Amino acid sequence: MRAAVFLDRDGVVNRSPVRNGVPHPPAALQELEILPDVPEALTALREHGYLLVVVTNQPDVARGNAREQDVQDIHARLRSTLKLDAVFTCFHGDADNCDCRKPKPGLLLQAAREFDIDLAASFIVGDRWKDIEAGQRAACKTFFIDYGYREPQPSACDYRVGSLLEAARIILRTQSSKFVP
């Protein structure tokens, strides 16, 4: 089994425009901006044997506010630019009550099955309470990037950090190298 670092997309890997205190996804590939230090963080994690898996809710597709092709174009760019192992996406809205929409752990469980991931040895890095709760439900250690959004915060998390790079440094400092291939 392998360990993974699960990554929320918007606000963790790429810039998430904030309007009225609420983060939003980029609407198209032209708006995609990878956050500073993300390539450095992901390279370090990859070099230490971690799988890098994005798990993202993209409900604007179900709501008719975004095209699935635009979301897929963004994911293709992220996979190629950042050498991600996989991107798992929920296109549903809350009303769909699916198992894949965070805060439910469906995306993480699916990735664990497909990639033989040890969830208890894995981490999730997110900037919203739903990311943290999904990680907790999957028994992962959780990192909350706190941007001070005007929305509910997670009730608890393992670490509160300012960036993915800070999370990566903590992961690499505190974990054994038993998963290094």
Q: Any idea where the domains of the chain sit in the sequence?
A: 4-117+138-174
pLDDT at 127 over 80: yes
Quickly list DSSP for the chain. -B-EEEE-SBTTTB---EETTEE---SSGGG--BPTTHHHHHHHHHHTT-EEEEEEE-TTTTTTSS-HHHHHHHHHHHHHHHT-SEEEEE---GGG--SSSTTSSHHHHHHHHHHTB-GGG-EEEESSHHHHHHHHHTT-EEEEE----SSPPPS--SEEESSHHHHHHHHHHHS-STT--
pLDDT at 60 over 80: yes
- Mean pLDDT, residues 17-40: 94
In the chain, pLDDT over 90 holds for what percent of residues? 86
Which residues belong to the active site?
A: 8, 10
Average pLDDT, the chain: 93
- Mean pLDDT, residues 132-148: 97
More reliable by pLDDT, 80 or 63: 80
- Mean pLDDT, residues 46-60: 95
Q: Among 1.10.443.10, 3.40.50.1000, 1.20.1560.10, 3.40.50.410, what is the CATH number of 4-117+138-174? A: 3.40.50.1000
- Mean pLDDT, residues 106-112: 98
